Structure 1
Amino acid sequence: MNTDTTVLISGAGIAGPSLAYWLARRGFTVTVVEQAPRLRDSGGAVDFRGVQLDVLRRMGILETVRAAETAMGAEVVIDAEGRPLVELPSEFFSGEVEIERGDLARILYDLTRDDVEYVFGDTVTSLTEAADGVDVTFGRGAPRRFGLVVGADGMHSVVRRLAFGDEADHRRDMGYCYAGFTGPNHLGLDHSGVIYNVPGRGVLVSSSRDTSRAGVGLVFAAPGLEYDRHDREQQKRIVAEAFAGAGWRTPELIALLEQADDLYFDTLSQIHLDSWSRGRTVLLGDAAWCAGPGGSGTGLAMIGAYILAGELALASGDFRTAFARYEEQVRPGARTGQKQAKGAGPFLAPPTAARIRRRNRVYRMLSSRLGAGLFRRMAAGAANAVPVKDYPEPVALAGRS
């Protein structure tokens, strides 16, 4: 049995560095390749609940995450005049701990950079499996051989495409799109947010730690939309056209979009695969099971990283057994997340005025004392869908005191 412990991870977001941390602590030699020229410091907030916090604690970063948490308060659903309709408590969107994705990425990078090789501004271009490793070519760097390859490179995973085939064969679009960016906090929000809807469109604006800036999220129905993922100007036009005449202060937000340099734009989609591994290549996080908003994606990706590294260490080179045990444990949580997130589009941007009113009634129920308990049980069930078991104590990293 091959005992090569060199691992290539594609993707330096959250899942990749989380896996790199645990692999390095278990004696693996890890390289992380990231297409972006530098660490991505943008993205919306991510939250953790239940046993997901246990993984942060095991990594020794829970208090660091808490120190950088958004400390978001309530979010308020408003009408076209800006009048409040229903107030949602912070735990509804923010969980037990919430942090900006960019802040979490930085924490994970700082945690691992002394013990893991990071290569920015490059990407995998081919994978050729041999009996004792995977020969990998890159867009810029020289070819290299690794014992294992991990695709932790998101919904549009390059590794998945190379090892499993075209993305279209595995992606299920839910008929909605999401655009997110930051801009000046013209609404004067202070650790709070507002939600505004017209049929088929949703506007979410919030501001937390930096009250001079606001995060804007725009969700809209767009069945069958085709667009160029690399054409930001086209994406801005699509969003502006989708929200034309939306009312409230939406025109001001669309005007801010024109100047935004951190636009995130994509469909609300899920990834469904019969298997997350093929030979010496395995997928993690959104590359394997992307669920969409409300699917506990970040927390589950970090739990998956912990389990994958633990099983690889236990298997002593039998990567096929390790991959199978990892998938056996994590897939039930991925299914739960996908089921939970399946209706995210219609919930965030209900298609009719009647559906908006119905959704708001659900919000009122969930924000009541009785409903809050129900929501906590539902949220805890999803967050705790994958138990976090103990693995043999890993070694200390060279880069850690």
Structure 2
Amino acid sequence: MRNQTVLISGASIAGPALAYWLDRYGFTVTVVERAPVLRPGGQAVDFKSETHLTVLERMGVLDEIRRRETGRTDVIYVDDRGREKARMTGEFLGGVVEILRGDLAEVLAEPTMGTCEYLIGDSVTALVESPSGVYVEFENAPARTFDLVVGCDGIHSRVRGLAFGPERDYVTYLGYYYCAAGAPGWGHDPAHKERNTAQAWHAPGRTATAGGSKAAHLYVFASPELDYDRRDIEAQRRIVMQRFAGMGGGVPDMLAELAQLPDFYLDSLSQVRLRGDYTRGRIALVGDSAYGNTLGGFGSGLAVVGAYVLAGELAVADGEHTVAYARYTEIMRRYAKIAGNPNGGRFLSPKTAVGIRLRNWFLGSPAFGLMMKYGDNAANDIDLRDYEVAAGV
């Protein structure tokens, strides 16, 4: 049954990782990606543990990821007069290895560009399941039927919306927004893999960070849920300008640069909470669409591990999706608990002056080291089965 056809929606991290493993196990894979091109650069993402690196190594991409990795960045929190108040270490922010998101997508997709079908600049518009497959309509491509469909299309997953129901039923807003603008220019240069620094200015409920490997600018702010057009970038720039107006330090200079910075991205900090399985019928969810938590710190690792597990269970079950999907949910529901609690907004941008002082104290305390150690342990808390051996590949 491994000659089954599988449609994967999304070509960021989970999507190409899943395509790699399914292709290796003999499935016929199509990947549809809404963006018009797979662009390099973008905001930096990271992997936190040896478990994550093991999956990347088994894919044969770890060396290339290390070649493209960015440098370590300490974020220094300063007051309006430039005096250091706290420091967030690059080890916490950048994990074991850090790479620009677009570069990672390119590295993950490259091995399957010649063997899998990629529909770039297209998206799924309808899903109709029957006992024999899933009939899929696309925005541009002709409709067709696939044996299985997997949504790897992020927190705002279209596949989840079509198959499971409205986003409001599965995505919880965490009370914050974040904006990343302007990819760092030094990410590829081997001369800049030493430690770097970024500066951050804070006020209750607002933090603005300039420099470093995550983005040229990073803004995090508390807010009631906003209603805005996600396609209107200029309107989103105005939201950020208004929210950070009146802050001191280097923030006025940041806002003056904001209009010229590329790769602008604004979104809510939200958490996906699926109360049941990560699957429904012939349709499954992997990565942020299933267990995303914005700025929670483990999204990239969960994406590649989830892809590895789902593809492996399908291979071991010889394509019998009811068996494989149940095992996938069982394994990943336990492992994905690591993303279940952190609210990155509350940590990065406390809403009160007292909260800011407590956060600054915590960053310099032994408790911060213990939190990092707990995160490392949790990120390794899974027994990675050797699916190639189990499936006889």
TM-score interval, smaller chain: over 0.9
- Which residue is equivalent to 1:320? 322
AA in 1 matched with 2:36:
P
Give the Å deviation of 1:42: 4.3
Q: Write the distance in 2 (CA, Å) between the matches of 1:70 and 1:320.
A: 41
8 Å CA contact 2:201–2:250 kept in 1: the answer is no
Write out aligned runs for 1:127-276 (5 A): 127-182=127-182, 191-208=196-213, 215-273=216-274, 274-276=276-278
AA in 2 matched with 1:119:
L
- Which residue is equivalent to 2:189? none
8 Å CA contact 1:337–1:382 kept in 2: the answer is no
Query: Does the C-alpha gap of structure 1 residues 114 and 302 become closer, same or farther in structure 2, counting only changes over 3 Å?
Result: same
8 Å CA contact 1:39–1:106 kept in 2: the answer is yes
Runs of 5+ in structure 2 lacking a partner? Answer: 186-193
**Runs of 4+ that moved beyond 6 A:** none
Q: Write the distance in 2 (CA, Å) between the matches of 1:123 and 1:146.
A: 15
Give the Å deviation of 1:272: 1.0
Q: Which moved more, 1:329-338 or 1:353-362?
A: 329-338
Give the Å deviation of 1:4: 5.4
- How big is each residue's C-alpha offset from its partner over 1:237-282, in whole Å with a ceiling of 9 and x where there is no partner? 1111100111111111112221233111110001111221111100
AA in 2 matched with 1:309:
A
Residue 140 of structure 2 aligns to a residue in which SS? coil
Residue 64 of structure 1 aligns to a residue in which SS? helix
Give the Å deviation of 1:183: 6.8
Residue 211 of structure 2 aligns to a residue in which SS? strand
Give the Å deviation of 1:111: 2.0
Q: Write the distance in 1 (CA, Å) between the matches of 2:282 and 2:333.
A: 19
8 Å CA contact 2:2–2:26 kept in 1: the answer is no
- Which residue is equivalent to 1:356? 356
Write out aligned runs for 1:77-116 (5 A): 77-116=77-116
Give the Å deviation of 1:207: 3.1
Residue 137 of structure 2 aligns to a residue in which SS? strand
Q: Write the distance in 1 (CA, Å) between the matches of 2:31 and 2:392.
A: 20
- How big is each residue's C-alpha offset from its partner over 1:113-140, in whole Å with a ceiling of 9 and x where there is no partner? 1121111011111111122111111111
- Which residue is equivalent to 1:399? none
Q: What is the aligned counterpart of 1:382 among 378, 382, 389?
A: 378
Residue 328 of structure 1 aligns to a residue in which SS? helix
Q: Write the distance in 2 (CA, Å) between the matches of 1:325 and 1:269.
A: 26
- How big is each residue's C-alpha offset from its partner over 1:47-66, in whole Å with a ceiling of 9 and x where there is no partner? 11221111111111111111
- Which residue is equivalent to 1:39? 38
Q: Write the distance in 1 (CA, Å) between the matches of 2:53 and 2:392.
A: 22
Identity %: 46
Give the Å deviation of 1:77: 1.7
8 Å CA contact 2:42–2:183 kept in 1: the answer is no
| TM-score, normalising length: structure 1 | 0.90
8 Å CA contact 1:43–1:264 kept in 2: the answer is no
Give the Å deviation of 1:324: 0.8
Residue 386 of structure 1 aligns to a residue in which SS? coil
- Which residue is equivalent to 2:70? 70
Residue 259 of structure 1 aligns to a residue in which SS? coil
Q: Write the distance in 2 (CA, Å) between the matches of 1:111 and 1:122.
A: 21
Q: How many residues align?
A: 383
8 Å CA contact 1:11–1:151 kept in 2: the answer is yes
Q: Write the distance in 2 (CA, Å) between the matches of 1:196 and 1:383.
A: 30
Q: Write the distance in 1 (CA, Å) between the matches of 2:101 and 2:323.
A: 32
Q: Write the distance in 1 (CA, Å) between the matches of 2:181 and 2:249.
A: 19
Give the Å deviation of 1:390: 1.3
Runs of 5+ in structure 1 lacking a partner? Answer: 397-401
Q: Write the distance in 2 (CA, Å) between the matches of 1:329 and 1:243.
A: 42
- Which residue is equivalent to 2:4? 5
Give the Å deviation of 1:110: 1.4
- Which residue is equivalent to 1:15? 14
Q: Write the distance in 1 (CA, Å) between the matches of 2:157 and 2:213.
A: 31
8 Å CA contact 1:190–1:207 kept in 2: the answer is no
Residue 179 of structure 1 aligns to a residue in which SS? strand
Q: Write the distance in 1 (CA, Å) between the matches of 2:213 and 2:225.
A: 34
Q: Write the distance in 2 (CA, Å) between the matches of 1:37 and 1:135.
A: 24
- Which residue is equivalent to 1:293? 295
Residue 340 of structure 2 aligns to a residue in which SS? helix
8 Å CA contact 1:295–1:338 kept in 2: the answer is no
Residue 118 of structure 2 aligns to a residue in which SS? strand
8 Å CA contact 1:11–1:35 kept in 2: the answer is yes
AA in 2 matched with 1:232:
I
| TM-score, normalising length: structure 2 | 0.92
Give the Å deviation of 1:377: 1.8
Residue 245 of structure 2 aligns to a residue in which SS? coil
Give the Å deviation of 1:105: 0.9
- Which residue is equivalent to 2:279? 277
Q: Write the distance in 1 (CA, Å) between the matches of 2:353 and 2:114.
A: 54
8 Å CA contact 1:174–1:223 kept in 2: the answer is no
